[in-house]
Amino acid sequence: MYHCAIIGAGAVGGLLASHLGQQQTVCFIDSRIAQPAQCTIKVNSLSQGKIVFELAILPDVPRCQWLIICVKAHQVDAAIQSLDLSPATNILLMVNGMGSHHQVLKHVDEHRLYLASNTHGALVNLKSSSVLSVEHTGLGKIDVGAFNKQQYPPAELASLQASLPPLHWHPDIYQALWLKLVINCCINPLTALNNCKNGELLQPNYQAKLKALCQELSQIALLDGVVLNSALLLSTVREVAFNTAENYSSMQQDISHQRHTEIDYINGYVVSLAKTHHAVCRHNVALVQQIKLLEKQYE
Ligand code: KPL
């Protein structure tokens, strides 16, 4: 029996595996492989220094306490649809944006689904079929809560908390998820469209756009039952842009490597929510259209 199985051998998956693997049994899951394989993980962790260790990659989920999903939001369905998921396994969904939980709920019971927001920065240095090398670029935190807003954490959360501090339990995780969504709605498309680092958004020419976006996002969040003050949102977005000034956002990276972006789960999620409530959402609509135009050039 493993403690944790992780789907998504990328920057976040590698970071989680390296920290959890210090105290627990961990493996990666990749439903595309036919036979179990082995992988060496090398991580420069900001809290634990250099970590190197071997990890099994399995084609299906073994008995485990947690299945952690950290793939791109639009890859969730493909990553889990052929897996044999035990009803006793807790699922922790740690993806950018919102809305991909619908894909998980097609396969698992809602009382097993937990949602997480991660603010650690991590970048893949090197990835091959047998080596994953990750740089931990920003010390963040992980917020976890139940999809169905249960008040207390499951007993199995303690093992994750011990290996991955700081990890906080939230009886209502949607506040934390929305805050991360707003950060992604502002930083990701603007850095992708302007092909710049996050810190560039602190320049005066972006301030009116950021302010308008935060006002619009705070109004849409309210329609979803989440109260977020727009001035506070703006200062949080600026703070994240400052703290990650030298990073390229994941959407800037997706566009520059000609990959499909997560726009449908970030600004696109906000636009569809606004539509449901017949609310105006022109700044987010414009960003979705512009990012989709860029994607069209190579898809
Ligand atoms: O989460 C991010 C992303 O790039 O997806 C931010 C917080 C914007 C950091 O780059």
Three-state DSSP string of 198-228: HHHHHCHHHHHHHHHHHHHHHHHHHHCCCCC
Q: What is the largest CA-CA distance in the chain?
A: 54
Determine the distance separating the centroid of ligand 1 and the alpha carbon of 221, expressed in angstroms. Answer: 20
Q: Which ligand 1 atom is nearest residue 198's CA?
A: 10
Per-residue confidence (pLDDT) for residue 51, from 0 to 100:
94
- Report the predicted TM-score, pTM, of the whole model to 2 decimal places: 0.93
Q: Which ligand 1 atom is nearest residue 240's CA?
A: 7
Please tell me the residue having the least CA distance from ligand 1 atom 2. 249
Q: Which ligand 1 atom is nearest residue 252's CA?
A: 4
Per-residue confidence (pLDDT) for residue 19, from 0 to 100:
93
- Condensed to tens digits (0 to 9), the pLDDT of residues 92-134 reads 999 999 999 999 998 899 999 999 999 888 888 888 889 999 9
Please tell me the residue having the least CA distance from ligand 1 atom 6. 249
Our CA angle for 266, 271, 275, nearest 5°, is: 150
The CATH number for 175-296, chosen from 3.30.460.10, 1.10.760.10, 1.10.490.10, 1.10.1040.10, is 1.10.1040.10
- Condensed to tens digits (0 to 9), the pLDDT of residues 45-75 reads 999 999 999 999 999 999 999 999 999 999 9
Which of 17-26, 79-88, 91-100, 131-140 comes out lowest in average pLDDT? 79-88
Phi, psi of 281 (to 5 degrees): -150, 50
Give the CA radius of gyration of the chain: 19
For residues 266 and 189, is the Cβ–Cβ distance under 8 A? yes
Determine the distance separating the centroid of ligand 1 and the alpha carbon of 239, expressed in angstroms. Answer: 12
Active-site residue set: 180
Our CA angle for 119, 120, 121, nearest 5°, is: 115
What CATH topology corresponds to 2-170? Answer: Rossmann fold (3.40.50)
Q: Which residue ranges does the chain devote to CATH 3.40.50.720?
A: 2-170
* Mean per-residue pLDDT, 34-42: 94
Q: Which residue ranges does the chain devote to CATH 1.10.1040.10?
A: 175-296
Residue 121 CB-density burial (10 A; 0-12 exposed, 13-18 middle, 19+ buried): buried
* Mean per-residue pLDDT, 268-285: 97
Determine the distance separating the centroid of ligand 1 and the alpha carbon of 50, expressed in angstroms. Answer: 24
261 lines ligand 1 (CB under 6 A): no
Compare 163 and 90 and report the one with higher pLDDT. 90
